[in-house]
A and B are shown apart, each in its own frame.
Chain A
Amino acid sequence: MNGGWRPALRIARRTVRRHLGRSILIAALIGVPIAGATVMDGLLRTMTGPEHKAYQQMGHADGQALVSEHTSLPGWQPGADSSLGKGERSAAAVDLERLLPPGSRAVPDDVFGLLRLRDGERIVRANVDLVPVGDPLTEHVARLESGRLPKGPDEALITEPLAERLGLLDGGEVTAGATITADEGPRVAVTGLAVVPTSTDWPTIVAPPDSALIRAPGLADVENPQLGYLVDLPPGTDADALWPKLAEQGIAFTPRSVVTNPERYPLMYADDDALETIGPVALVVGFGMLEVVLLAGAAFAVGARRQVRELGLIAANGGTGKHVGRTVLAQGLALGLIGAVAGMLFGGLVVYAGGPVWEQLTGEVIDSWRFGWPELVVAAAVGLLSGLGAALLPAIGVARMRPVDALAQRFRATGMRARLPIIGVVVLGVGVAGVIASGVLARQREIEFRNSPNATNGYVQPDLELPTLGVLVAGLVAVIGLIMITSGLVATLARGAGRLPLSGRLAVRDAGRHRHRTVPAIAAIMIVVAGSVAMAFMFAANATGSVRTTPEITLTVRGDPVAAGEDAETRRELLDGTRAMAAALPGGTTVQVPMAQLSDGSPVAVGVDEQSACSTGRIGIADPASLALTLGHQPDAALLADLESGKTIALDECVLTNGTVRTETYESGVPAVELPARYEPRPENTSYYDLPYAFVSAKTAQERGWTSGLDVVAVKFAPSASQDDIDKAIVTGEDHGLQVFNPYDSQEEVNLVNLALAGGAGLVTLLGVAVTIALSAAESRADLATLAAIGAQPRRRRTLAGAQALVLSGVGTVLGLVLGGVIGFAITPLSGELAFSVPWSNLAVTVLGVPVLAVAVAMLVTRSRLPMVRRVD
């Protein structure tokens, strides 16, 4: 090893140990993102991917066999349609095991269904899995958790969520003598609790394949001409040689490798989602590591300053600039390695130790964990590079110092420092121009695409590759330019600090004198705020342009698809249930939404081409209440007149073609109809979930031979309803066997995303402020001691910390806001939206809330006692 690196690594190793606090800080800054990446990798590798899919589909079986009613399936191959149709034999009469290689085993595959249970006056809907539970081949479907396995058709297991719902839980076990009764169906005894590994939070009944429950309405109606089996083959069997032979016997056999290696089968599509996410993930990881480098870089800069005399000694003893620089870089290497390894270990620990939490969050049982070692090695390498990156600029700085200045601990301003802000202005200008130009180009291309014939083709997207690349590259250039300017900006602020009160004056001048630590922290805050603001602009535009926004005062309710009896009974249940829901809500009322259907009850919908990007939905029969609900306002005279004249009112311009809409039914054989139509724009914030896409008048429906069906009722209520009221109403609806759709959920998701964005910005700001204030406290002990000596009150230290936090977070937030707004303008059309909407609430939280929080936290965690130490260490 070169003579220069050996002493450098030795000094680095021991310096890391000697300055444990700073070393832990830097290692933690590097390690935490690595830990996060490790956790994500463990979760993704375990919960997604071909092996997981294969387990979900067929457990540990070597394949799935579908025994059809046909004596042969010529041309069938894995990946083909699994609905094999009626044939000439009985599938139940086929002895599958006789057709498999000797030593094979076949057990009936899971038959899934939905069932209504009657619990007194309540209807409780549950999933049903009919499967030989207890067999090793079916453990992926259901497992016994407590009690005993069912022994006959009159017994079943239930899951804990269902047991809770039915009040059959007693100290973690099912109550003795518990039974469940299908609505207008048989009763069976409950012998224990089951767990469904792939969906632990669903109310489910697990029963043998010959369970009495198959006579219940909902299950009895299901016709299934084919029988499914899970197959275990003897070791060494070539499954790919087996399926053609079985196909000749009328059996569709899907080997496990169809799921684990789909690319080997012509009819299967390999899941390349991973490729599509690499770009955004790389971007997030890249900017994340930039944050780490900046924050850790501040700590390294302080360390290098404190160590400058030692570095001067190296120079005095014959060390060149390279030797001196290596001494700092070696610390970056050491801490990068420690951070990377510690991060991976910690992440692994979080994965293993947090098993119950992950199971609850994912709703799945996790038997074992899988990690992707290639990407973990990459993550570790990135961690190592982050350490080196953080140490790079401080290393270059000390390497360029004159030995005499290093020995005297004298830091001179270089010519480059003076020129940097000027170069930064140019770089920033180039970057901003690039971002804006990319945004304009993106807008142009989006508009051109919308006006092109491909606009309604769901398989064609606008060409946004160049503007996307432009935003990425120019954005990065703009960030670099702003970082270069920040040093000059802070210096300028420091020069003008004379008029500020004492703490503010000290804080601003401290920031100016110690730009080696304040500029990286400000840059880190600026980048995360810019990212948060840019994303907020994009989400605001998406919300404005979305056709799925819903008012917060409506629940839409559907009847139960497995309801017993005639339509009249389903209708009665729907009306009774929604009336009960409305009664449970302040100002609650119901609005019936009649839909067009054929005489046999088949729904009539708006027709779109197979390749169309348009969405489709039901056609409603107009009445004043449902029109007002869907449009968000009372229909005007012109609209009513158009309806009367026989026109269809389409609520999505996409489905109109030359002034007409096409209708279709789900009943094949009934020809499509073209109706004259016009577009009626819906205002923002109108309910659209499960409501009609178009309206015809009752007269038009009658002329077409359509009848009015009632599938959907909306429940409206006053804005004063609390979340508790809404939850109770939803439970009331479900107790009546209804399906309730809550628009709050999607709005909550949007709110959560905005909260996460602001929270992320706040967290990094707090981190940057905390790191810098801690470093400042370490560097400023002598100055603080002087303050104490001249009689400053102890609380002065707190106000000084608060002022420092305000300088860092304030400057970083303002710069981030400006940059984020520019980038937000550019990336909005990249997400397919042209509307530019300002996210005022998010901006207010970020611009005001984040600095205020930073100041408050800085003051709270700073001790008020001033140090009484001698000025010279």
Chain B
Amino acid sequence: MNKDEHENTESEEIHRRLRESDRANLTTDPPTMGAWERVKLARHPDRPYTLDYVDMIFEGFEEIHGDRRFADDPAVVTGLAKFHGQPCVVAGHQKGRTTKERQQRNFGMAKPEGYRKALRVMKIAEKFSRPVFTFIDTTGAYPGIDAEERGQAEAIAYNLREMAKLRVPVIVTVTGEGGSGGALALGVGDQILMLENSIYSVISPEGCASILWRDATHAQQAAEALKLTAQDLLQFGLIDTIVPEPEGGAHSDPREMGDVLGAYLSDALAAAAALGDKERVERRYEKFRVMGEFEELSE
């Protein structure tokens, strides 16, 4: 795959500028913001959603609907697009902006058919050797009777296994809330990016608080304890890159956010596409294989 981004001097320029500020803001300065502030930013109602990024970063988006099994899940959007002129596939959670749209999209909480649709489209990408970009922004997979009946757990599990095998580059970005298994079901990839104020967690702070503190009002404490910020995940080696956000958060300047993310996606794709298919899948395995922290006592 050719690296079209180098022909685009504008994005190159943005890229350089941001890389410099990135170094200044993220690597040397200690994190000044608490986890709970990040949670609030990640959930900010004006935060750009998947379709906003698709609109800003990709060209010629054609939405693809349905899992060909049961239904079309509006909480997940998938489609064909072009990234710097190159055909690719996009899949991501989609929260609604208006009250009506929020309900229609089930607040970005996907049902099994959403995950199955996403995988279906990723397999089309694999068949025709096109890269995959996924965008994660969900409170979690939908906890409802119908979702359980249709195999919410199986849908997530199957995505985890199949995404590990995809022979094309898979670039994952957590843009807002990375809510547990419902997030991870779109999250197995070669390059994993998190926006500076996004979160990624095994359980929501509220859920954690209600179980361990037996009181959901301890959510702030739980948010700190869960180590769910992009900085935390980078430190544990669970993600590759933190994408800096404009001052005040992504929603304060969505256009700038789109430009920044576009530049980072260029880099991520270039890194993943530089490898042969076999080696890329092997490295993806190794990436997840080393995740985890433990000690081993000698026998």
Q: Tell me, yes or no, whether A binds B.
A: no
Which chain B residues have a beta carbon within 8 Å of chain A's beta carbons?
A: none
